[in-house]
Structure 1
Amino acid sequence: MLDVTARVFTAFGHGAALALLAVTVAEAPAE
């Protein structure tokens, strides 16, 4: 169960990082 939780957390973490990066890149030209 701990392994599954770790995998979900890692996947979510990567997704959040990619989303933040995408937002940063999208916002940069508008500045």
Structure 2
Amino acid sequence: NYAVPGAIDIPVDFRIELRNKTHNSRSSSMSK
């Protein structure tokens, strides 16, 4: 978690999308 000013203003969907992107990239590199 980053203590970035205005982080609370970030939409939850955006954070979830970011989490999914990082998760997908991790799983794809693991499967390689």
Q: TM-score, normalised by structure 2?
A: 0.66
Q: Normalized per residue, which structure has more helix?
A: 1
Runs of at least 5 residues in structure 1 that lack an aligned partner in the other structure: 25-31
Q: Greater Rg, structure 1 or structure 2?
A: 1
Structure 1 length-normalised TM = 0.68
- Residue ranges of structure 2 left out of the alignment (5+ in a row): 1-9
CA-based RMSD of the aligned residues comes to 1.3
**Regions of 4+ moved over 2 Å:** none
% same residue: 9
- The total of aligned residue pairs comes to 23
